[in-house]
Amino acid sequence: MNTVIAFILMFGLLVFVHEFGHYYVAKKTGMLVREFAIGFGPKVFSTVKNETLYTIRLLPMGGYVRVAGEDPEIIDIKPGQHIGLTFNEAGEVDQIIVNNKAKHPDALVIEVERIDLDHDLIIEGYEIDEETKYSFRVHEKADFIMDEKATQIAPYNRQFASKTVGQRGLQLFAGPLMNFVLTVVIFLILANIQGVPVDDVRIGSVVDNSPAEEAGFEPDDTIIEIEGQSIGEWDEFQEIVQASPEESLEMTVLRDNQEIPLEVTPALVETPEQNIGQVGVTLALEKSFIRSIPYSLEETYRWSTLILTNLGKLVTGQFSIDMLSGPVGIYDATDQVVKTGFLNFLTWTAVLSVNLGIINLVPLPALDGGRLIFVGLEAIRRKPIDPQKEGVVHFIGFALLMLLMIIVTWNDIQRLFL
């Protein structure tokens, strides 16, 4: 049960932060945000506030922010169509009744001759069986009423396409950016809870029954020499130890201002890539808010680099698609991490957050990176790309991503039962 709660909270946080980035910039630049959704599929919860429908959906496979103009509008009224109109106190149309007009006896029913809800915000037409032509101003926040459900109209200045290249690019980039910000914040929290690594090679803890304990290492020992060579950084220490499995190493530690010689033989540890040595010590940590800030940025950069490296190996075929994990695999990994403690769970959340940010910037159709490519091409060409052609490309990309998700999920399920 703890894993279920942890997974829901983690998933909700990652998706919420990502989609909030898109949502915030869209709102600030005047776009009409029709929906802010966490998850896909059937609605579990929904509420409407300030023009936007907020939903939580059943399938934990992501989320989305639906901005007016990104997709074709659902309701399209043609000349000759009969519609009902209601008016506000200023005499402007505030409701356009598309069907079930009999349920709105106070509405004025007209036959449409011309309608422009993008720029002029005007409806021209005739009352039924009348020859007098009327022209009605439409309020910029008027609603379509279709099947007794209200959908706000989207004048062109509220649509995604009406904004500048910079505004659209920022709206698309803001989602991944927020994932990087979340990663930095989580590492900052972790650094202030457990501390940041010290600058020298000072031991924080010694694992029970490890080669280091058998050799006589103690917490707060500072390793200053290995095989007669001065050592000043933890990475140097790790590199030498990992390259020397089952080989005796002479080290000198500084303990209470005294130099003490110790001899240790790193244990052999087998990994998928190579065999390495380990002695069973951890680096000491110290609490410092000032140092925690660059540390959080460095950790975010380190994990970003690692993820990009692995992504490159996947593209070049060095990694198999079978190594990818979807929601099922992430849930299983979360189950293992939760058992090791809350701080490790926070680290896992930070890693997934930066991973989500990077994956969304991959220049593939339907992803933020793919859509940024189209915005960039428009900036270069100095004219917009045909929305229908772009829509087809993103649709195909989305279908392929869903296919990949199905394959990855199937592999995750198979691994669980092997």
Catalytic residue ranges: 19
| Separate counts of helices (H) and strands (E) for the chain | 9, 18
In whole angstroms, give the CA distance from residue 166 to residue 267.
55
Q: How far apart are CA 364 and CA 348, in angstroms?
A: 26
Distance (Å, whole) CA 334 – CA 339:
9
| Alpha-carbon gap, residue 16 to 23, rounded angstroms | 10
Strands 93-97 and 133-146: parallel
Residue the block writes with tokens 């790309």: 385
Strands 108-116 and 122-127: antiparallel
Give CA–CA dist 45/31, Å, rounded. Answer: 24
Strands of 169-319, DSSP E: 196-197, 203-206, 222-226, 229-230, 249-255, 258-264, 267-270, 275-278, 281-283, 285-286
Q: Which amino acid does the sequence have at 112?
A: V
State the Cα–Cα distance between residues 134 and 121, nearest whole angstrom. Answer: 14
Q: Which residue matches tokens 């399209």? A: 76
Three-class secondary structure of residue 19 per DSSP: helix
d(CA 82, CA 222): 84
CB-based contact 202:210 (threshold 8 Å): no
Q: Letter for the amino acid at 130?
A: E
Tell me which residue of 333, 403, 407, 415 sits closest to 11, measured CA to CA. 333
